[in-house]
Chains A and B, each alone.
Chain A
Amino acid sequence: MKIMVAVKRVIDYAVKIRVKSDKTGVETSNIKMSMNPFCEIGLEEALRIKEAGLASEVIAVSMGSGQCVDTLRTGLAMGADRAIHVDTKDVMLYPLSVAKLLKKLVDLEKPGLLILGKQAIDDDCNQTGQMVAGLLKWPQGTFASKKKDTSFFGKDREWLRFNVRSSVEDPYLLMVVLDKEKQVVTVDREVDGGLETLCLDLPAVITTDLRLNQPRYATLPNIMKAKSKVIKKVTPEELGVEINKSDLEIVQVTEPPKRKAGVIVSSVDELIDKLKNEANVI
């Protein structure tokens, strides 16, 4: 079975973004970009499934400008076998177009599992995985989380990071549990008020939540090896998807209203007094 993982190039999560003065968007030139954190988790999960002997190949795919190749190269350095870049030039892409492009790639490559992050940290949409699942008529396991309880993982996290290979020999450390014989996957989902467990027939779409796993770092030898791995380039035209028209139009991007400056109080008594008499909230 092949696993396809969609990865997105976004502004690095630690960067404090600036809104452009003409209100057309946010400043993206000369700003550190990296792989969307949720996509890293998705890729990590795919690699662990492969290392557990449950998948034969991991394909990383990305849509966007030429620079997405850097993001795919990172994915290859983490351990993906090959990559596909859909070059969409500088066209503004919405999740509906990405879902249509992904569907075409799935039709071509026929993976048994498609893994995405639950949302991109730039547009915060949380839509693409659900939409491609709908288009493919595949079942979906969104917001996939980990199986074991938090206390265990809090302690084991460092160990996991450095011993990823040995950790996947225990199939229960795979947070998405795959049953090859029955062709099903069991997913624990983070929902409001707890965890929900679903069983999905393969092929299926899974989107990853933050706590699914701890992505590995690419090692130097793997970064070198990644340079010789193949990144196939395709265009939306070749896939037969129209991306230039959209039913959404960005009117403006603005800064959120600033909160008025607060005050530093000197004691608990003063705090309680302010909350009681000035803010009237207690």
Chain B
Amino acid sequence: MSSVMILKSLKKKPLQTTFISQSYTIKSVSRYVSTLILGEHEGGHVKQSSYSAITAARSISEQNSISLLLAGSGPSIHKAASHAASFHPSISQVLVADTDKLSHPLAEAWAELVHLVQKKGGYSHIIAPSNSFGKNVLPRAAALLDVSPITDVNDISGSQVYVRPIYAGNALCTVRYTGADPCMLTIRPTSFPVLHISSDSKWDAAPVSQVDLSTYSEDTLGKSRYLKHTSQDTERPDLGSARVVVTGGRALKSAENFRLLEKLAEKLGAAVGATRAAVDAGFVPNELQVGQTGKIVAPELYMAFGVSGAIQHLAGMRDSKVIVAVNKDADSPIFQVADYGLVADLFDVIPQLLEKLPQKK
């Protein structure tokens, strides 16, 4: 059975013959594993979350043949592709779909692209990061391929068994995928830290090849059009990948008081987060929301000021390494998950912290 599958893949993947012959000799691999990663890029660089997907792909199987798919148009996509090709030795190929139709990451165009690339490549797994891009694109692509996708995987135990949080992280569900190829996942970037290779190790850069778009199905393209993107400029580290996060809740009382938190964040080199209450009250824009419906973060240090600790909020930060809570109410649920709790008024504590904390570069 497995040899038939390998032969099939051999026919389909002329580019990867060397790699296939390698894995063919490894008897312990009962099933040929090849992964397509849906990559995001910006300004000539592949995003860190896409590189997290490589870590996930490697935990499915060490002998995973990993292809990274990038789409877009213009010179920046080619720059991103050449960066990616030499980013990690386990990337065996970088696929580039260079077309105006994909200059914005629209789900309609991406799903058709994934469908096309999968038909040619016959991958056993397709992975995207679990962010607004991956969650938008991957389920649509899965429906076109008639398979059930698995969202927000935070642990992988074998090539078909995955762990994912349900009920706002209050339970962990282990699922086995028993369907046909491909098995499609979105992975939580915070659970799969990016693998960095020491700079003195040498390997050949992976080949970069163009996706043949001559059979690109266009029946759903053009039904959606990108108009604009409004973003909040920020000089602080990205909330999703920051080492330290300071978060404020409703108790901060106003947008002005959030500046206090921003000062503290600057001192710690931290990102600022917020609870839904703070976002709804208009203190901060919604992309700062941490929780079940906002961002999932897992920094080394998470400091919560005036946060009560609703289950929907805890879902977004419970995997943080060290949690500090400052709250006036000693009965707040946040103290049940905090490593260090301080029952005090945050308007007393923050100025003291600002004064006493060592300056971070």
Could you tell me which A residues sit within 8 Å of B by CB distance? 11, 13, 16-17, 19, 26, 94-96, 99, 118-119, 121-128, 130-135, 137-143, 145, 149-155, 157, 186, 189-201, 204, 209-211, 246-256, 259-260, 262-269, 271-272, 274-275, 279, 281-282
Contacts and interface: CB of A to CB of B under 8 A. Distances in A.
A134 B139 contact: yes
Contact of A279 (B148, B167, B226, B339): B339
Contacts of B223: 138-139, 200-201, 204
Contacts of B180: 247
Interface stretch (B62-70, B82-90, B92-100, B316-324): B316-324
Contacts of B281: 154
What is the interface of chain B mostly: helix, strand, loop, or mixed?
mixed
B249 to A, nearest CB: 15
A268 B324 CA distance: 11
What is the interface of chain A mostly: helix, strand, loop, or mixed?
mixed
Contacts of B226: 196-198
B220 interface: yes
A262 B172 CA distance: 23
Contact of B147 (A96, A192, A211): A96
Interface of B: 106-108, 111, 131-133, 135-144, 146-152, 161, 164-180, 219-220, 222-232, 238, 240, 244, 255, 268, 276, 279-282, 285-287, 292-293, 295, 300-301, 311-312, 318, 321-324, 330, 335, 337-344, 349, 352-353, 356-358, 360
B172 A254 contact: yes
A256 B171 contact: yes
A127 B165 contact: no
Given A142-B107, A249-B175, A265-B342, A259 B337 contact: yes
B283 to A, nearest CB: 8
Contact of B301 (A11, A186, A281): A281
A154 B250 CA distance: 12
Top 5 nearest A-B pairs (CB, nearest first) are: A247-B179, A194-B231, A154-B282, A134-B143, A130-B139
A258 B318 CA distance: 10
Nearest to A264: B341
28 contacts: A122-B167, A130-B136, A134-B111, A134-B143, A150-B282, A150-B285, A151-B282, A155-B282, A190-B132, A192-B131, A192-B133, A193-B287, A194-B230, A194-B285, A197-B230, A199-B225, A201-B222, A247-B180, A248-B175, A249-B178, A251-B176, A252-B173, A255-B172, A268-B349, A271-B342, A271-B353, A275-B301, A282-B268
Give the residue among B164, B167, B268, B343 with the most A Cβ atoms within 10 A: B167
A268 B178 contact: no
Contact of A131 (B143, B174, B349): B143
Give the residue among A209, A247, A255, A272 with the most B Cβ atoms within 10 A: A247
Contacts of B168: 121, 124
Give the residue among B220, B232, B323 with the most A Cβ atoms within 10 A: B220
Contact of A126 (B135, B143, B238): B135
A192 B143 contact: no
A130 B300 contact: no
B232 A193 contact: yes
A135 B143 contact: yes
Contact of B229 (A16, A99, A195, A272): A195
Nearest to A119: B293
B276 to A, nearest CB: 7
Given A122-B166, A154-B281, A262 B341 contact: yes
B322 A124 contact: no
B267 to A, nearest CB: 10
A247 B147 contact: yes
Contacts of B229: 191, 194-197
A251 B357 contact: no
Contacts of B219: 137
B188 to A, nearest CB: 11
